[in-house]
Amino acid sequence: MKILVPVKRVIDYNVKPRVKADQSGVDLANVKMSMNPFDEIAVEEAIRLKEAGKADEIVVVSIGEQKAQETLRTGLAMGADRGILVVADAMPEPLAVAKILAKVVEEESPDLVILGKQAIDDDSNQVGQMLAALLDWPQGTFASKVEPADGKVNVTREVDGGLETLSLSTPAIITTDLRLNEPRYASLPNIMKAKKKPIDEKTPADYGVDTAARLEVLKVIEPPKREAGEIVPDVDTLVAKIKEKGFAA
């Protein structure tokens, strides 16, 4: 079984994003960038399937600026076999990303594509579902458990109120939720080895995909700040406040 894992280079999870003064976007100059956390979970899941003997090749693909190569190297250091870098000037929107990935899938013919459920920059939560639509494949989104078996894959999904398990025919799309696994850290020897793993470089034009934006961003602002209230001295005062507001008799 072959697994394709798309990974996105985003602002590091621990960095507080700052909105630019001219309201044109978030300032990413000199900011630490990392692999999108949900994509790390996707890479980890693919590696675990390979370690369990259920997969034999893992291809990581990233779409974005040239530096997204670093993100691919992270995936390769974790254990992926090779990478594909699709260099785009501006980050394409989810639909265009899905269209590029659909072309990559046509060339690579993976049995599973495992993606993060959303990127922590644009928070769209769209690409996996869109890719499934374009390929007419089934989708197991927000996965907390993935169990492949004979032409099928059982996916347990995090849904409102609990969990739901679906059986999907393969090939299939899976998007990862938080509790699927805990991604590993790449060891130093593996980081060194990853430098020798092949990365193929492409552009959206190679795949014949138009990446023109459909959404015009008019402005990006900071959310309204909430004013801090008062610190109460003890539980009795807090009880009085809660009763005053009518939340308890």
Q: Which of residues 164-203 bind another protein (CB under 8 A)?
A: 164-169, 177-179
- Write out the DSSP string of 2-51: EEEEE--EEE-TTSPP-B-TTSSSB--TT--EEE-HHHHHHHHHHHHHHH
Binding to another protein (CB under 8 A): which residues in 2-41? 11, 16-17, 19, 25-26, 38
Asked, as a colleague might, if the bond just before 94 is cis with ω within 30 of 0, I would say no
Q: CB 77 → another protein: shortest distance, Å?
A: 23
* Cα separation, 18 vs 35, whole angstroms: 19
Instruction: Kindly determine how many residues on this chain lie close enough to bind another protein according to the rule CB under 8 A.
Output: 79
Q: CB 197 → another protein: shortest distance, Å?
A: 30
Q: Which is nearer to another protein, 125 or 203 (CB)?
A: 125
Q: Which is nearer to another protein, 163 or 205 (CB)?
A: 163
Who contacts 166 (Cβ-Cβ below 8 Å, separation ≥6)?
Answer: 138, 140, 154, 155, 157
Residue type, 118: Q
Q: Please identify, among the stretches 57-65, 68-76, 83-91, 208-216, the one whose residues bind another protein according to the rule CB under 8 A.
A: 208-216
Binding to another protein (CB under 8 A): which residues in 70-129? 93-95, 98, 118, 120-129
